[in-house]
Amino acid sequence: MEELLKASFPDADIAIEDLAGDNDHWKVSITSPSFSDISRIEQHRMVQDAVMGHDIHALSIKTSTPK
């Protein structure tokens, strides 16, 4: 998961938590300048696109831009 997100958001601060210990339920927090001037929905779509095609059952996403 971390490698996928770092490849898509190399300039980001990324925190990842395996919520169930099964590599299937994740919580991610990403702070990236890539999210500037785009809607929260589009930010979340970008994260979902980065991990699409991998066996993930649940994904909680929090995105933000650097202050």
Q: Say which residue the tokens 């202050």 belong to.
A: 67
* Tally of structural domains, the chain: 1
Question: What is the value of pTM for the model shown?
Answer: 0.87
- CATH value at residue 53: 3.30.300.90
Range of the domain at 17: 2-64
Check whether 1 has a pLDDT greater than 90. no
For residue 3 the two structure tokens come to: 């490698």
What confidence tens digit (pLDDT) does each residue in 35-55 have?
Answer: 999 999 999 999 999 998 877
Q: State how far Cα 2 lies from the chain centre.
A: 9
Q: Are 56 and 26 in contact (CB under 8 A)?
A: yes
The DSSP code for 36 is T
Cα–Cα distance between 57 and 10 in angstroms, integer? 24
> pLDDT at position 24, please?
86
